[in-house]
Amino acid sequence: MLIAKVIGTTVSTIKDEKLIGRKLLVVRQTDEHGVTSGKPYVAIDTVDAGVGDLVLTCSGSSARQTDITKDTPVDAVIMSIIDTLEVEGKIVFQKYPARQGS
C-alpha cells in the first residue's frame, strides 16, 4: 500500500454507472513525513477520508476487493486513514498530536 495525502476532490457527471455515488478523491504519494511527490491520481474513498488526511491507498485488482468497489472500473482505493507512523524508532507522523499532560 502507498502512503498518500488527499489533495482534492473530483466531480464527474458523465461516468460509468457503477461509479455513481462514489467519492472520488485526488491523492498523491508522500514520504513518511507527508511530503508529496510524483503524479497525483484518483482513488475511490471507502473510509470517509478528507482533504489533508494521510491515507493508505491500494492499487490494482486489490482495489476491487471491497464491497464499494466490487466489479467497478477502479484501480485505486483509499482503504485506511493513518493515525501514526513510526519509522526507525521515531514517531514521524501523528494525526492527533498527544495532548500535553496525557
Partner 1 sequence: MLLGVVKGTAVCTIKYPGTEGLKFLVVQPVNKKLESVGLLQIAVDTVDAGYGDLCVMVRSREASLALHEPKAVPLDLALVGVVDQYQIRPNSEFNLVMKRGSNSYT
63 binds partner 1 (CB under 8 A): yes
25 binds partner 1 (CB under 8 A): no
Give the shortest CB-81-to-partner 1 separation in angstroms.
4
Using alpha carbons only, give the angle 81, 86, 89 rounded to the nearest 5 degrees. 175
Q: What does each C-alpha distance from 53 to 16, 17, 28, 67, 89 come to in angstroms?
A: 27, 28, 11, 22, 23
Which residue of 3, 15, 39, 41 would you call a contact of partner 1, by CB under 8 A?
A: 3
Give the shortest CB-50-to-partner 1 separation in angstroms.
11
What does DSSP assign to residue 23?
A: P
Which residue of 1, 8, 9, 10 would you call a contact of partner 1, by CB under 8 A?
A: 1
Spatial CA neighbour of 44 closest among 71, 19, 8: 19
Three cell numbers, residue 52 = 489533508
Q: Cβ closer to partner 1: 26 or 64?
A: 64
Site size with partner 1, rule: CB under 8 A: 34
Alpha carbons 77 and 74: distance in angstroms, whole number: 8
What is the binding site for partner 1 (CB under 8 A)?
A: 1-3, 29-32, 37, 46-48, 56, 58-63, 65-66, 69, 77, 79-89, 92
